[in-house]
Amino acid sequence: MPTPTKPTTRSATASRARSAKRGADEVVRPPLQSRSEKSLEKMVAACRALAEERGNLDDISLNETVARAGTSIGAFYGRFKDKEAFLGYVLEVALREAEDVMQRSIDEEPVWQTGPAQAIVERIIGSYVSQFRLNRGLFRGFLRHYSARDARDNPMRDANRRIYGLVVPSLAAQLGDRPKDTAEFEVRAALQFMVGTLANILLNDPGPLHLDDDALALHLDRMMVRYLGLPEAVAPVASATPRRSKR
C-alpha cells in the first residue's frame, strides 16, 4: 500500500478539480496518427502505475511519467495543456473502464434480467471491489482532492451516478414486495452505504476489514442484503474471517 504523503494545497486541489471536470474532450488533443495514440496509451499506463505506487498524485512528475512510458516531454505537451489536464484524463480513462466492465456484465449475464436479487447484489459488489483494488492509488489520490470540493466538481461521483443508472433498475425490479419508487430508493441507499464503506477503507483503512481482505465482499454483500430485506445465504464461519489476499 502507498505510504502516507504530505497534504495537497487548496490551489492544486481547485486546479485539478477544474481540469477533470472539463472532461476528456477538452483536456486531450485528438491523436493525429496511430503512433501518437500508442504514445498516449503508454503515458496513461505509466501514470496509473505510478499512482498505484505512490497513492499521491502530487508525487507523480511529468519527467518520471514520460521516462517510464518511453515518450518525451514534447510528446506530452503535444497532447495536454498541463499536468492537471493529464491527470484528469487518466481518471476519466479509469472511470470509463469501470463503467464498461459493468455494462458488459449487464449485457452478457442473464442474471441481471432474471435475478434473483441476491445474485445481482453479488455482481455489483464484485465489480466495485475489483475496481477499487485495481485503481486504489488513482482513486485514493482523487478522493483526497475531491473530499473538500463541491459535488459538481467531482467526476468520480458523476461516474458513480451513471453506474447507478445501469444497475438500479435491474435490482429494484427484483424487489416486487414493495412499490417501485421505494425499491429504487432503497437500492440507491444500499449502494450509497456500500460505496461509502469502500471509500472510507481506501482513504482511512480503519479496520477491521481492509481492501485486500478476502472476506470484504462477503461482508459488503451481507450489509446490502440485510438492508434490502432479502433472504441471506448461510456462509461458512471461516469464509467470514478477514484474511488478506495476495496482490
Going from N- to C-terminal start, the domains of the chain cover: 10-77, 93-240
213 strand-pairing partners: 244
pLDDT at site 11: 46
- What the block records as the C-alpha cell of 29 is 488533443
Residue 24: predicted pLDDT? 45
Residue type, 88: G
pLDDT given for residue 245 in this prediction: 58
Hey, what's the torsion of the CAs at 77, 78, 79, 83, to 10 degrees?
0
**Phi, psi for 244 (deg, rounded to 5):** -75, 135
Residue carrying the nine cell digits 485539478 = 16
The rounded distance, in Å, linking the Cα atoms of 84 and 229 is 44
SS3 196: helix
Is residue 179 within 8 Å of residue 122, measured between CB atoms? no
| pLDDT tens for the 247 residues of the chain, in order | 333 344 444 444 444 444 444 444 455 555 555 667 889 999 999 999 999 998 888 889 999 999 999 999 998 999 999 998 999 999 999 999 999 999 999 999 999 999 999 999 999 999 999 999 999 999 998 888 777 666 567 889 899 999 999 999 999 999 999 999 999 999 999 999 999 999 999 999 999 999 999 999 999 999 999 999 999 875 544 445 556 655 5
Q: Running DSSP on this structure, what letter comes out for residue 207?
A: S
Write down the pLDDT at residue 234.
57
Is 57:101 a contact under the CB 8 Å cutoff? no
In the structure grid, which three cell numbers stand for residue 119, read together? 445474485
Count of residues in the chain = 247
Percentage helix, strand, coil for the chain under 3-state DSSP, each rounded to 5: 70, 0, 30
For residue 73, what pLDDT is reported? 93
pTM of this structure: 0.80
- pLDDT at 59 (0 to 100): 87
What pLDDT, on the 0 to 100 scale, is given for residue 246?
56
